[in-house]
Each structure stands twice: as structure tokens, then as C-alpha cells.
Amino acid sequence: PYHDWLIRPLHRLAESSAGAFRVDRASDNATTVCISPGRASIAGVVLTLDETLIDLAVFNNDTAYVWLEDNAGSAQLGNAAASAGWPSNAHLKLAEVTLAGGAITAILDRRLETLFRV
């Protein structure tokens, strides 16, 4: 369609700047994820996060949601089982992490959904 010329560069720009808060498997543990450092503005508050490790072993055989939120001006990572859903307060979705058999089986990146949200 005619708008492809506009949409493609926007997606490339978003992907190139999306290194911040990337959620990847940590090399030392089968149930731990590493969140890359970055800066974001959530509800008008600029937050900075250093590289962080989160052990998601409690979500074995389930899917965990991982997000970033503001905690009195400080960046705070949150996580919960998919059955609990995303938080109702302002947040930045980071990923859905599926665990089975004591290991991470899939990581679904959710950062761009929030980036393009109106």
C-alpha cells in the first residue's frame, strides 16, 4: 500500500532503538532472564534501569509477564503469571517468558507494542 514508505522506516527506527530493556536468557541459569539497561519515560517520569537479572523459576510450566514501572521516581521491574495479567497502573511491557521443564522455552518481545501505543 501507499503508506509502506512511511511504516517501514518507523519500524526500522523502533527496532534500532529497541536495544534498551531487551529481555534475553541469562547464560548462567536456565530460568533467569537478563534485562538490558535503558531509559524510558512512563507517565511523564524519566526512569533509568541498569542491567538486571530476574530469576523466573517460580513460573515454571507457565508464562510470566515482565514489565517496567515507576516506583516513586525509580525504575522497578515487575513480573507476574500471565493469568494475573498486566498491571493496571502505567507501565512499559517488556516480554512474555514461557517456562517449561525448569527452563525458558520462549521469550516474546512486547516492547514495540507499548512504543506504538497511542
Residue-wise pLDDT tens digits, 20-60: 889 999 987 899 999 999 888 888 888 899 999 999 999 99
The number of C-alpha atoms within 13 Å of 25 and in the hemisphere containing its C-beta is 12
Angstrom CA distances, 70 to 17, 40, 42, 102, 112, stand at 21, 10, 7, 30, 19
Which residues are 66's β-sheet partners?
79, 95
**pLDDT score at 12:** 63
pTM: 0.81
